[in-house]
Structure 1
Amino acid sequence: MTNVENERTGTGRIGTRLRAARKAAGLTVADLAEQWRDRAPEQVRRRLPALKDLERTIRGHEAGTHAPGPRYRLLWAHALRMPESELFPEPLPHENASAVGNQGISPTAESTVVAKPAPHRLETDEEDVKRRQLIRDAGALAAGAAIAPILTTLTDAWQASHPRLPGATVSRAMLDDWTDAYRTHVRSYVNAPPEQVLAKLTRDWAEMAPHLAHVQPKDVERDLAHAAAQHAYLIAGTAIQIGDPRLATRWWTTSRLMADRSGDSLLSAYTRSWEVTNRVTDPHEDLGELLILAREARRLSGRHPSGTMIYATTVEAEVLAFMGHKRAAVDALRHAEDIFERIPSTEPDREELLRFDQCCVYSLAGLRDRALEAHRAAREFYRPETHLYNTIQLDLYETVLEAHRDPGEASRQAVSILEAVPEDRRIRRVTLTARRVLDALPEQALTLPAARELRALTTR
């Protein structure tokens, strides 16, 4: 049987999948043969051939020259730590023939059993194996290695149980699930270690990815792109926190692309504002470029007063403050406060975003009374048990206010705030905010012991 003929049969498709799964696990054929021998139950191990023969068997399975029987399917699944149903989702040819025989048809040597065409696949078997491996790895990090394959199988089964929307590759339940997942990820984003957040986001994105590459009905494409944009900008923000700007750049681009594809201009505005506020604290960023992006977000937010318009305007004020343009920053913030007053009471006003950026801008501008008032208002929205990172940033911005009045005490407070944060929670937006305390210190105060200790804590 030729390779082309193999690909047309169940054995060919299964062989491709097995080879891809082995490579994804980082195993050579010899490694896998040893795994089979080591992991096989005692009664099976006694009947196994020599290692060289096992290697020939593996190559035969992968080439599609013969299909693995029940014993070898179990060995494949055990060695690769995958559910057997995932490795072998389709009946093997001899199982099809058995089913035909049970219907009263006896295939002869001369007859040809015509298999039903395989259902439309969104990706090749190799791509599918890699995607599933990614989902399992993400699940292992998020929930533990032992349960990760079970969660993957449950997710696949749940998705398969819901009928697809007409002309689409997804169900309404899948779209709603990804939308709900975003809200869960946001709650983690403001509290959990970034590695855990990224693992959970990766699992959901890996589920969405093949559907994004497929042509969908317009309304499905819109909803799918909306959920994808939200996941993408969370991935980008998390990439910044783990110190991978290249990865972040890739996902910022993806988030803007997905938001624009959704046709929702408010989402496009919010996505850009989120990007700016995550990037602006990094001293290596081009603030002029970020100001352009912030103003693009404000333009996209439209003319109707909304929470998204407030966010876009306060983020622009934030960039201006970091650029040292304090008067322009305060003017932009006052404009945001005016927008807030004009939002209809029936619409969400996102007051928490306004209060947070008031703390930032008024603290950096040295407007003590306004900053303290903003801090009191912001504390109503941001508490350590619900918004750990925002609360830490608020503490640090409050310390910025003391930097000129009492540099030594301000430095000691900032050090105390950082040391109280567990190591795995000292993300970049926390340490970069702490550096604002250093920036606000008089030059002669930078040699103080507490200031030197603060610098050491923020450059690790």
Structure 2
Amino acid sequence: MPGSETRPAWAVRLRVEREERLWDIAEMARQLRHTAGNARLPDIETVSRMIKKWESGKHLPGERYQLLYSRALGIARTVLFETAPYQAQSVQEPVDVAGVADEIARMGAWAESSNVGEHTLAYHNDAVRRLARDYLQQPPLLILQRTATLAREVFRLLQNGHQRLDQTRELLITTAKICALMSWISGDLGQPAAAETHAGTAWGLAHQAGDPAAQALALSTRSKLAFWDGRLELAAQLARHGYDLSVNDTMKVFLACQEADAWQALGDIPRAREALRNAEAARENIDQPDSVGGVFSCGVARQCNYTAGVHLRAADPDGALRQTERGLDAYSHGEEWAYGTWGQIHIGMAMARIAKQQLDGAASALRPVLGLPAEQRLSTLATRLSHLGRVLEGPRFQTSTEARTLRSEIREYRAITAS
């Protein structure tokens, strides 16, 4: 038929799955290289040319690249690259109708049984929530180990047993949440390749389950990774996609804040302010509890931290100070404390003080962060402190003893970080 799709089904799937994730071809190439880890692949441009040929259906990827695609997209290789069409078998012998009925009855009885119950499903879902909450205050490596143990338990249920379809969907959703949490922690530990792998798996599982809350969670982790990798426009797009998918919980607020953060980093203050308005609107419309919470929740303090960042980029240190003070005040009035956000608020306060030439105030704001134990010195905090240190290396601070002391303390902090 004229105009009909002539590409193989696997080629169509490769393009559809890539575009579902808002990845261009170069980004797909980066994902394959990330997934390969220490196994060296050709450069981005070469892999991009290969991807174009694969998506056109001209060449089927070899076994190595099929495995990398499967890991990067979080989809089983057999599903992604299935090429054999279904062919009906001709009947060569008389059919035992009664025997077939008995066999189907046995299959039906098997399908009604399950290796999980409602208690098991609830337990694993609650376990993810506890880990996400514990991560706010406990060392990341400890939580990563506990989360990995939980992941193995849930994957074992999926792989070694069978469930009703609704139960399988619940397990997929729970596993997507677990992988999103592992991605977040890995990123905080400065392990971007591992974080990308977990995030891709989280998105694949959430997409397969068709759960908007889990999809939003996965998009949040992917936005974070794109942000710290310098892919700021992609970070904004992923956050906005998650915002549009999200249910009305604080995760929707958080995704709007992530979008604002990406736009301010690009210097697009009008778009950043628009995203902040979306965050305020989302907070006013919250009508349900968070599906995970903890590190995937957004209280007033966390929202203030992102808002302060936009004020700093807009050269409004007074506005930034008001937001950081409001954020710390939220913690003092009982909002659940998270040392990562708390640390970033203090760093934002220090940046505002430096902009106002108040180095003594900046030093006071930084002291609590610089005193964090090694196991809580997240890569994200170290990166922000590194930026602050570069500001203190500017010409106007060259003769300042306070600036020199702060630069030295920041170097000492960054020498010992969580890993």
Separation (CA, whole Å) in 2 of partners of 1:401 and 1:221? 50
Q: Which residue of 2 aligns with 1:402?
A: 353
Contact 1:236 1:247 in 2 (8 A): yes
Q: Which residue of 2 aligns with 1:226?
A: 173
Matched, 1:175 2:121: yes
Q: Which amino acid aligns with 1:443?
A: G
Contact 2:351 2:362 in 1 (8 A): no
From the superposition, tell whether residues 415 and 373 of structure 1 become closer, same or farther in structure 2 (CA, over 3 Å).
closer
User: SS of 1:401's equivalent?
Assistant: helix
Q: Which residue of 1 aligns with 2:135?
A: 189
User: What RMSD, in angstroms, separates the aligned Cα atoms of the two structures?
Assistant: 3.0
Separation (CA, whole Å) in 1 of partners of 2:316 and 2:244? 28
Shift of 1:417: 3.2
List runs of 5+ in structure 1 lacking aligned partners: 1-163
Contact 1:185 1:197 in 2 (8 A): yes
Separation (CA, whole Å) in 1 of partners of 2:164 and 2:264? 44
Contact 1:276 1:294 in 2 (8 A): yes
Shift of 1:235: 0.8
Alignment counterpart, residue 257 of structure 2, candidates 314, 322, 332: 314
Separation (CA, whole Å) in 2 of partners of 1:385 and 1:325? 31
Shift of 1:369: 4.3
Matched, 1:361 2:327: no
Contact 1:359 1:374 in 2 (8 A): yes
Alignment counterpart, residue 286 of structure 1, candidates 228, 231, 240: 231
From the superposition, tell whether residues 347 and 415 of structure 1 become closer, same or farther in structure 2 (CA, over 3 Å).
closer
Q: Which residue of 2 aligns with 1:136?
A: none
From the superposition, tell whether residues 249 and 402 of structure 1 become closer, same or farther in structure 2 (CA, over 3 Å).
same
Q: Which residue of 1 aligns with 2:269?
A: 326
User: SS of 2:150's equivalent?
Assistant: helix
Contact 1:415 1:450 in 2 (8 A): no
Separation (CA, whole Å) in 1 of partners of 2:328 and 2:365? 18
Q: Which moved more, 1:443-452 or 1:232-241?
A: 443-452
Q: Which residue of 2 aligns with 1:375?
A: 324
Q: Which residue of 2 aligns with 1:337?
A: 280
Separation (CA, whole Å) in 1 of partners of 2:111 and 2:365? 54
Q: Which amino acid aligns with 1:319?
A: A
Separation (CA, whole Å) in 2 of partners of 1:258 and 1:381? 35
From the superposition, tell whether residues 422 and 185 of structure 1 become closer, same or farther in structure 2 (CA, over 3 Å).
same
Separation (CA, whole Å) in 2 of partners of 1:165 and 1:453? 65
Shift of 1:441: 4.9
Whose RCO is larger (CA < 8 A, sep 6+)? 2
Matched, 1:390 2:341: yes
Q: Which residue of 1 aligns with 2:383?
A: 432
Shift of 1:433: 2.7
Q: Which residue of 1 aligns with 2:77?
A: none
Q: Which amino acid aligns with 1:452?
A: R
Q: Deviations over 1:50-98 (max 9, x none)?
A: xxxxxxxxxxxxxxxxxxxxxxxxxxxxxxxxxxxxxxxxxxxxxxxxx
From the superposition, tell whether residues 373 and 407 of structure 1 become closer, same or farther in structure 2 (CA, over 3 Å).
closer
Q: Which residue of 1 aligns with 2:156?
A: 210
Q: Which amino acid aligns with 1:371?
A: A
Q: Percent identity?
A: 20
Contact 2:236 2:262 in 1 (8 A): yes
Q: Deviations over 1:96-143 (max 9, x none)?
A: xxxxxxxxxxxxxxxxxxxxxxxxxxxxxxxxxxxxxxxxxxxxxxxx
Contact 2:223 2:258 in 1 (8 A): yes
Shift of 1:386: 3.4
Q: Which moved more, 1:309-318 or 1:384-393?
A: 384-393
Shift of 1:204: 0.7
TM-score (norm 1): 0.56
Separation (CA, whole Å) in 2 of partners of 1:301 and 1:435? 33
Separation (CA, whole Å) in 1 of partners of 2:376 and 2:396? 28
User: SS of 2:353's equivalent?
Assistant: coil
Q: Which amino acid aligns with 2:309?
A: C
From the superposition, tell whether residues 271 and 237 of structure 1 become closer, same or farther in structure 2 (CA, over 3 Å).
same
List runs of 5+ in structure 2 lacking aligned partners: 1-109, 291-297
Q: Which amino acid aligns with 1:191?
A: Q
Q: Which residue of 1 aligns with 2:407?
A: 452
Contact 2:183 2:221 in 1 (8 A): no
TM-score (norm 2): 0.61
Separation (CA, whole Å) in 1 of partners of 2:136 and 2:226? 16
Contact 2:349 2:365 in 1 (8 A): no
Alignment counterpart, residue 200 of structure 2, candidates 238, 249, 253: 253
Q: Which moved more, 1:359-368 or 1:196-205?
A: 359-368
User: SS of 1:191's equivalent?
Assistant: coil
- Where do 1:266-277 residues align within 5 Å? 266-277=213-224
Q: Which amino acid aligns with 2:116?
A: V
Separation (CA, whole Å) in 2 of partners of 1:243 and 1:312? 21
Shift of 1:404: 1.5
Matched, 1:198 2:144: yes
From the superposition, tell whether residues 392 and 351 of structure 1 become closer, same or farther in structure 2 (CA, over 3 Å).
closer
User: SS of 1:379's equivalent?
Assistant: helix
Q: Which amino acid aligns with 2:254?
A: Y
Q: Deviations over 1:203-245 (max 9, x none)?
A: 1111111223366422112211121111111111111222222
Shift of 1:334: 2.2
Between Structure 1 and Structure 2, how many residues are aligned? Answer: 291
Q: Tell me which structure has the larger Cα radius of gyration.
A: 1
